[in-house]
Amino acid sequence: MRGLVENVLSHHRWEYTIPGGKLILEDGKPLIMGILNVTPDSFSDGGKFLDAGRAVEHGRKMLEAGADVLDIGGESTRPGAPEVPAEEEWRRIAPVLKELLEIEGCVVSVDTTKSEVAGRALEAGAHIINDISGMTFDPRMREVVARYGVPVILMHIKGTPRTMQKNPHYHLLLEEVTDFLHQRCREAHEQGIDQIIVDPGIGFGKRPEDNLELIRRLGELKALGYPILLGPSRKSFIGHVLDRPVEERLIGTLTSVVYGIMQGAHIVRVHDVEETHQAVKLVRAIREGKALST
């Protein structure tokens, strides 16, 4: 118990190796991950960036607005979403990934559960794999991530995107999420993967009250010993509480982001980068007691 308490209370800094550099994750210095969906059916921005040129331009704008990482997804993971064949997913991602990787200093994560897509993306130079299944949907994913030695984001999900919101139920929510993530981390370690980021999976097989509890208790995930990613952006629990449609959930998103940062989030994954950057900057200024120039 003493070791667990010390792990939660002590300051942590991780220096992960990525192609061409380092990804630094540190308590109190959260990074912003900008969402770039190149899909026709994502819940918030589906269809807006199917054109590769528009997607790349949006990626550039997010970088200019303060994004530290761009997360490209070629398959919608909204509730009820059908699975997309690997070839089609890669067709959507490939031209955007190629262009973004030519931008100096641009760190790119690829959001996929398929080892074939991950392998192609990593061969092209992608820096991070973001797997919403915690590398459980495709048994070859661990092998691919281990081969390239990149950081991986392991997320909790109950079911699949097609089934996850069909009456999800937990006996002990945080314990179940933590146990799932602990098991996924152990499996990754057995494959030689140690550059891990954990994500409680806001909106993935959770009721509104589950999402609120996970954000409220986010700091307890520090016991896993890895950096924490929080992705509340525009999600339905915000609409449930505030009675707002997807396009009017910015305030709810920012509130969730700020609360998550205060609980110890190391990465926040969002659509609205400029506004999030301002919020993160002010949180850091308040916490550190000084104005920040960048």
Residues with a catalytic annotation lie at 235, 269
Tokens matching residue 220: 């307890």
Helix (H/G/I), strand (E/B), else coil: 154: strand
**Exposed, middle or buried, 261 (CB in 10 Å: 0-12/13-18/19+)?**
buried
User: Of 49, 134, 168, 64, whose CA–CA distance to 97 is shortest?
Assistant: 49
Residue 99: count of CB within 10 angstroms of its CB: 17
* Whole-number Å distance between alpha carbons of 60 and 58: 5
